[in-house]
Amino acid sequence: MSNKKATLTLDGKTYEFDILDGSVGPSVIDIRSLYAKTGMFTYDPGFTSTAACDSTITYIDGDAGELLYRGYPIDQLAEDSHYLEVCYLLLYGELPSAKVLKDFELRVTNHTMIHEQMHNLYSGFRRDAHPMAIVCGVVGAMAAFYHDSTDVNDPIQREIASIRMIAKLPTIVSTAYKYSIGQPFVFPRNDLDYASNFLHMCFSVPTEDYKVDPVIARAMDKIFTLHADHEQNASTSTVRLSGSSDANPFACIAAGVACLWGPAHGGANEAALNMLKEIGTVDRIPEYVARAKDKSDPFRLMGFGHRVYKSYDPRAKVMQQSAKEVLELMGVENNPTLQVAKELEKIALEDPYFVERRLYPNVDFYSGIILEAIGFPTSMFTAIFALSRTVGWIAQWKEMIGDPQKKIGRPRQLYAGAVARDYIDIKNR
Ligand code: SDX
């Protein structure tokens, strides 16, 4: 806590509130006693000026375009680390030694299969169900299979549930993909790394050997790392709020999957690629840019803008380089979708409307291009985002559950409805 105070004067009375400093970034005014002292609430729909918790996991500086996982810059982690090491870092706070990392990777590897009866869940869905509908349902259903890791007050059960979800999400997501294309489900393999295993479960078929291309596997692993966590975004806040009621971990992560699905959030990668395809050719970009500026038109440039980043999303920079590598490998660097993406980005970075509002390409702008080049349908993009973000949701959930000051989240409101009035019998209405 700093020794600085904030004072508020209301109806001639002055109230003092502590100012709390973090290790870096904005300080906060501790208003927990505000209602008791003043009988008033703060008002902040969308939480644009509200810190809902304190955390030691991820730090974002939106003006500087900085993103740190436990203090390590995202571009260094994307370049020098790999996803399971980043998972360990997010969960436990420090980079592991080689031995500790190997043990962690083995624990994850030994949990990648899903309960055999979980395969039956998939046949209950239509083949053309959106993969996110399936993933949301199957993740929630994990509580019906793994009863020995649902007690949130038991740290050992919390740990097992965490490992299970990190290990099984690639299997759950790839199985949803196989189900949607009518191909047989593929079991995970213990001899493959995390990203290669996911690609293998998505793209291998029983009729021939499948060799994972290391460049594609590396790009996939980078996508996982870049999406792993992002401070108190909408889906993470959903997980925290769900967890504050002591709901079981699988239910909390399923709630995060549901929130991420929205096109304003994780659904933007699917929406961005669909938008680029709808634009189709470079000469049609001005028409769409005009629509994005038109207040009477609900159309927005998907993959642009961010609540926090008011400069370039550092993840988009890494993703742009990765997109170039993958498209060159796939021999589609002249991909029309990428041409439209590059021209759209150029225009948006020069157009006063976007410059004044500091609307830059975000993580979703390029991830969709890579995923399409790898061979995923757009409907799979957000499910892959959910797979990547599971570790971030779990790390934040564990931090919240382990907080001795934990309270159930219960926001209040500014009530603008009818004041008390008596019931009117229907014959008098
Ligand atoms: C993610 O929070 C996170 O960390 C999320 C995420 C994560 O890792 O968890 O980073 C992942 O969700 C990235 C964002 C993906 N969403 C999109 O790409 C969808 C398109 N973007 C917008 O919907 C929007 O930019 C948001 C939702 C991302 C942010 O919206 P804000 O901060 O609430 O901003 P706003 O809606 O108040 O807009 C400010 C102005 C408005 O214009 P004015 O009223 O000031 O004239 O900018 C305009 C908006 O109309 N604007 C856009 C725009 N985004 C904002 N105009 C055109 N196209 C856009 N994309």
- Looking at residues 214-243, what average pLDDT do you find? 97
- Of 126, 176, 139, nearest to 376 by C-alpha is 176
Summary mean pLDDT of the chain: 95
Model confidence band, residue 3 (pLDDT cutoffs 50, 70, 90): confident
Model confidence band, residue 77 (pLDDT cutoffs 50, 70, 90): very high
Q: How much is the pLDDT for 315?
A: 94
- 8 Å CB contact between 386 and 137: no
Model confidence band, residue 327 (pLDDT cutoffs 50, 70, 90): confident
Which residue CA neighbors atom 34 of ligand 1 most closely?
307
- Looking at residues 401-425, what average pLDDT do you find? 96
Order of all β-strands in the sheet with 66-69? 58-61, 66-69, 72-73
Cα–Cα distance measured from residue 309 to residue 321, given in angstroms and rounded to the nearest whole number? 19
Q: How much is the pLDDT for 335?
A: 77
Q: Over the stretch 114-145, which tens digit does the pLDDT of each residue have?
A: 999 999 999 999 999 999 999 999 999 999 99
Model confidence band, residue 27 (pLDDT cutoffs 50, 70, 90): very high
Which residue CA neighbors atom 7 of ligand 1 most closely?
230
Q: Which of 82, 193, 306, 313 is catalytic?
A: 306
pLDDT higher than threshold 80 for residue 332: no
Q: Which residue, chain included where needed, has tokens 């097992």?
A: 160
Q: How much is the pLDDT for 339?
A: 85
Which residue CA neighbors atom 54 of ligand 1 most closely?
305
Q: How much is the pLDDT for 1?
A: 61
Q: How much is the pLDDT for 409?
A: 96
pLDDT higher than threshold 80 for residue 333: no
Order of all β-strands in the sheet with 5-10? 5-10, 13-20, 28-29
- Looking at residues 423-429, what average pLDDT do you find? 97
Q: Is 128 marked active-site? A: no
In sequence order, what are the beta bridge partners of 29?
A: 19
Residues with CB under 6 Å of ligand 1 are: 230, 233, 264-266, 268, 292, 300-308, 357, 359, 362-364
Compute the distance from residue 306 Cα to the ligand 1 centre, in Å.
Answer: 5
What whole-number percentage of the chain has pLDDT above 70?
99
Model confidence band, residue 53 (pLDDT cutoffs 50, 70, 90): very high
pLDDT higher than threshold 80 for residue 392: yes
**Pairing state of beta strands 13-20 and 58-61?**
unpaired
- Backbone conformation region of residue 71, classed left if phi is above 0, alpha if psi is from -120 to 50, else beta: left
- Looking at residues 294-314, what average pLDDT do you find? 90
Which residue CA neighbors atom 42 of ligand 1 most closely?
357
- Which of 309, 359, 366 for mutating ligand 1's site (highest number of atoms within 8 Å of CB)? 359
Which residue CA neighbors atom 31 of ligand 1 most closely?
307
Atom of ligand 1 nearest to the CA of 365: 18
Cα–Cα distance measured from residue 90 to residue 212, given in angstroms and rounded to the nearest whole number? 27
Compute the distance from residue 304 Cα to the ligand 1 centre, in Å.
Answer: 7
Phi, psi of 191 (to 5 degrees): -95, 0
Q: Is 364 marked active-site? A: yes
Q: How much is the pLDDT for 195?
A: 98
- Which of 233, 293, 357, 363 for mutating ligand 1's site (highest number of atoms within 8 Å of CB)? 357
What whole-number percentage of the chain has pLDDT above 90?
84
Q: Over the stretch 195-206, which tens digit does the pLDDT of each residue have?
A: 999 999 999 999
Compute the distance from residue 109 Cα to the ligand 1 centre, in Å.
Answer: 37
- Residue 407 burial class via C-beta count within 10 angstroms: exposed 0-12, middle 13-18, buried 19 and up: exposed
* pTM assigned to the model: 0.93
